[in-house]
Amino acid sequence: MSTSIEPPFPRAWWKSAVVYQIYPSSFFDSNGDGIGDLNGIHAKLDYLKDLGVDVIWLSPIYRSPQADMGYDISDYRDIDPRYGTLADWDNLLQGVHERGMKLMMDLVANHTSDEHEWFQQSKSSKNDPKRDWYMWRPPKYVDGQRFPPNNWKSVFQGSAWELDPITQEYYLHLYVQKQPDLNWDNPIVRNAVWDVMRFWIERGCDGFRMDVINIISKVQGLPDAPVVDHSQYHQPASMYFANGPHVHEYIKEMHREVLSHHDLITVGETPFTHDASVLAEYVLPKNKELNTVFNFDLMDLDSPEESPLVKKAWRLTEFKAIVGRWQMYKREEGYWNAVFIENHDHARAVSRFGNDSVAWRAISAKMLAVLEVTQTGTLYMYQGQELGMKNFPRTWGIEEYKDVASQNYWALIKGQRQEATGKDEVDMEGVLDGFQQKARDHARIPMQASFHSPLGGVMCHLVPMLPAFFVPRLCSTSWSLTFSADPRVSERHDISTRHPFTIHDVLTPCPRCSLPFVFECPDERSHSGTATPNAGFTAGTPWMRAFEEDAREGWNAADQSNAPASVLAFWKRALQVRRVHDVLIYGDFEMRLDKDERVFAYVRTLGDVRAWILLNFSDGVVEVEREGLGMDEDDARRCQLVLGNYEDHDDGSGLSLETKLALRGYEARVYVINRALMAALEWTSKSPSEIQFPPVTDSLCHLIADENLRGGVVNRFHDGTETAQTRILDVKVPTHLMASLKMIARLAEHHSDLCERFKPRLYELAKRKGDSFGSAAVNALVAMSAPFTRDIYICNTLGYLSIILPPLDVEVDSSLSHDDTDEFRLPTVRWVNDTGILNQEFMLQLVSTITSRNVHERTQATLTLLKLCRDAMVREFCTQKNVLDIFVSQLKQKKTSLLAAYALRKCLEYDMCTSDHSLHVAPALVSMVNKN
């Protein structure tokens, strides 16, 4: 097994990314029409960022008749009105990018809608230029009876062919009849698809999920499929349309013409395929096709061949074999996985692979989260997975199943039973049993947001999850609401009376909970904690029934955001652990206890770092032999528990040296040991040049800060001699010195008393000009809250601004709390016009006010301007009007210096300062220090 610190393939941003899939219709409705939309997604961007999401993947939002929930596209270059407009998409993209995330679109190019202009022209005449853009065939006649061209069965039941009455030919539709398949053998069709991709890339899209990309090439001649189901004429034919003869040729062309010119994330959906070698051809870097593909081995584990809507029993050894096979498959050649256990096409994971009973739901959902975050591959999450959402109950009738697959299968089985019995009323309870366990509908019910207010709005303690400009305002005499998901969107939703949206609203704290960016509450109902109708998804009638009973029991984003032991809180911790420990993303995979039917155990190794992952898939206590885990006594003593799904787990200081480890029901544990780190912290009396340090990486520095490792680090500081410890800052090797500084800074954040002995040397290093070691030393001193001298201020402007920021917050808060603060009110004019153009008159007045002699006006205006600087248009305006020069000038005046320093600090955060500004800031800071 390799022990290199680097994996045998290049790292890439998309490999360590966390991708969050949104099913737009069901995520969040911002306008009360009962359907989720783009503005609703925009309103929850801070929630997603806080969760730990890197990439947002949108299921189809293009213009569509919605025969298959948007996968039947009638216009690839427009947004369906139910979701918003192209301007809304642009606004969403901007919000995503401002938060450091990326946006991924769903490319559905095997088929279009029959309402697409391409198909309308194609079916108009056999001689139309676009006739061969689709797959048309004449009928087949047997004994004078007309049949479709072959016996292929549609994925959604019935024939895969539909007769056009005008031209008397059939067109192929592998899915519903309103989804005709494109003819990818036509190069003009391929070029049209490339143009669609370029359209979205040029607009700012960061990647594509490619729907059923492995079925774009069909076998020549389209022969009849072999008969495997004698109960019907139409037969499954995936052997003739999946992974066809030209599929790799076409995807290579896509890569050459489009993908290779951009740094994108790509993932292909590859159904009907379980041969690993076939799937690998789409992904191996040497082939230059896609980053990853979804393999469905795990998703098909509990499905019999006849239908995915029927439940089949599965064994843990089967489950482990699938995961283990893919974790190491062609690793040396660069194969990369797409890790997922939920999406829009499958029922909820906690109901399928966990235990969704009251007693075990949260614990087993967390256990499955550990399974996901500890696998090699790009991690894909699905909306609601982070909340532990489960399948809706068996008591719901067939009328609640909206998916075309469910409806068609129901009609097929009902028809067969009616024909067999000769009765209209037939027993369908068994079918509903299967639906309750396996139907796609469970993934598509509305997201359980439950923001608490009678209007389905937001509760004060949840508003930090929303952008500052999402500010409802309520009338004190009757419930009235005016809001916009973005101030640049002119359309506003009113209930009862309109109230003007002002900058003052943004700065008004809630009178009851004092949190900023909230509405004025007319009574206590908004703080009552009772779940809203429709699980908080919409103020209107939802397009699909919401699981309100479940949301009321705490299974919603609102309640879980404030519960440290919730599934949501655990997912946040788990994703942070994954981000910190590269071994969980890039390490080797070694299965342990492969024959055990209750415990899934495996070991990940990357260089000197090793992780043990233990997952109990049963509700009983299971004892595991330490020897079976490949863990010796030294490993057991020094490893650290970095993640566990029981709140009363041990303190992370290592395992007991007992030979057995007891795992409780559905318990998950992740132990990590960094042998190089442990060696580096075992201080000795050796000379500095002899001290061994691990390579300097971000993950190493985070290890020091990790809550579960901190105890071990502190103990080792206590164990070493003071002389030996201080020598770590005298090492000559630059990387070793930087490692020492970073370690001390991390440790000092929580144990500054242990770092006092380092201060003299840190002060010396902090005075080094233009030196990364000087900056690192300043960071360490900041972590210790150490006093600074003026020469350090001059050398480290940024460090100084970091130091003065906390007291400035106090100063600013104090100035705002003055009795006459309310005397000043900003104009009730929106900072952007309805057309989305910056309101120049208002902005000029605001800039003028930051030079006011009235301290309260100046403070209020400055803070408002800094708040608006979150928007790129405002930052550009401030640059044009030389606002930073005003702050630099104010820095030199005693009365305005503190506020100006605070403003400059914010401008630095917004990356608004040029090198010229930096040259002026340092002497201005010295002047400020002398005056204060």
Query: Among all residues, which ones are annotated catalytic?
Result: 211, 269
Q: Sheet containing 292-294: give its strands across.
A: 292-294, 265-269, 207-210, 102-107, 55-58, 18-22, 378-382, 338-339
**SS3 helix, strand, coil % of the chain, rounded to 5?**
45, 10, 45
DSSP 577: H
Whole-angstrom Cα distance, residue 403 to residue 346?
A: 11
Whole-angstrom Cα distance, residue 581 to residue 709?
A: 12
Whole-angstrom Cα distance, residue 259 to residue 693?
A: 41
- Compute the residue count for the chain: 932
Q: Which residues pair with 152 in a beta bridge?
A: 235
Show the tokens assigned to 725.
């410890």
Chain centre to alpha carbon of residue 444: 18
Whole-angstrom Cα distance, residue 250 to residue 287?
A: 12
| Cα R_g (the chain), whole angstroms | 31
CB distance 27 to 44 below 8 Å: yes
Helix axes 772-783 and 797-816, enclosed angle (nearest 10): 40
Whole-angstrom Cα distance, residue 479 to residue 757?
A: 61
CB distance 234 to 158 below 8 Å: yes
DSSP 328: S
Q: CA-CA distances (angstroms) from residue 885 to 574, 880, 921?
A: 44, 11, 10
What does residue 834 show for φ and ψ, rounded to 5 degrees?
-60, -25
CB distance 437 to 522 below 8 Å: no
3-state class of 897 per DSSP? helix
Whole-angstrom Cα distance, residue 35 to residue 53?
A: 23
Q: CA-CA distances (angstroms) from residue 798 to 593, 774, 779, 783, 784?
A: 52, 11, 10, 14, 17
Whole-angstrom Cα distance, residue 41 to residue 367?
A: 28
Residues 790/795/797/798 CA torsion (nearest 10 deg): -120
Q: Which residues pair with 142 in a beta bridge?
A: 145
| 315 CB neighbour count, 10 Å cutoff | 10
Show the tokens assigned to 426.
């037939």
Single-letter residue type at 699: S
Contacts of 378 (CB under 8 A, 6+ apart): 14, 15, 16, 17, 19, 265, 267, 291, 292, 336, 337, 338, 339
Tell me the pairing of strands 265-269 and 136-137.
unpaired
DSSP 133: G
